[in-house]
Structure 1
Amino acid sequence: MSIRGVLARNLKKARAAKGWSQEELAHRAGIDRTYVSSLERCRYSATIDVVDQVAKALGLSAADLLKAG
C-alpha cells in the first residue's frame, strides 16, 4: 500500500473513532473539509505540515497517521 493509502486509512479510522465528521476534523485542524475528503480518498498528497496539523487535532502524532499495519 502506498504511503498516501496508509494515511487515508489511518486518517479515516482515527476520525471515525472520535465520531467526527470530515467537517469537524477540518475545523479542528484548520483546513478545508474538501481537503480532508480528498486525503481520505487518496486524491491529494498531504504536506508534512498538514499531516502534523491533522494528527494534533486528533490527539495523535504524525507518525501514528503514517504507520502501516
Structure 2
Amino acid sequence: MSDTDAARRIRAVFDMYEFGEQMYRAKLRREYPQSPPDEIESLVKQWRMDRPGAPMGDAVGRLTTRFG
C-alpha cells in the first residue's frame, strides 16, 4: 500500500466519522427541536464519551481523556 493509498483510507475514515456525527446531530435536532445549539453540542459530546455498545471504547488499550 502506498502512502497515498494510506492517506486516502485515513481521510475516508475521518470523513465517515464526521458524517456519522452530523447525522447524530441532525437526529438530536429532530428529537429536541426547541433545544438551543449549545445543548445539542453538549449531547453530542456526551454521546462521544459514552456511546452505547462501546462503554470502554472500541478496542483494547488505554482510555482517553482527549474529548473530556
Question: Same fold per TM (> 0.5)?
Answer: no
- Please say which structure displays the higher CA radius of gyration: 2
Higher relative contact order (CA 8 A, sep 6+): 1
So what's the TM-score if we normalise by structure 1? Answer: 0.35
TM-score normalized by the length of structure 2: 0.36
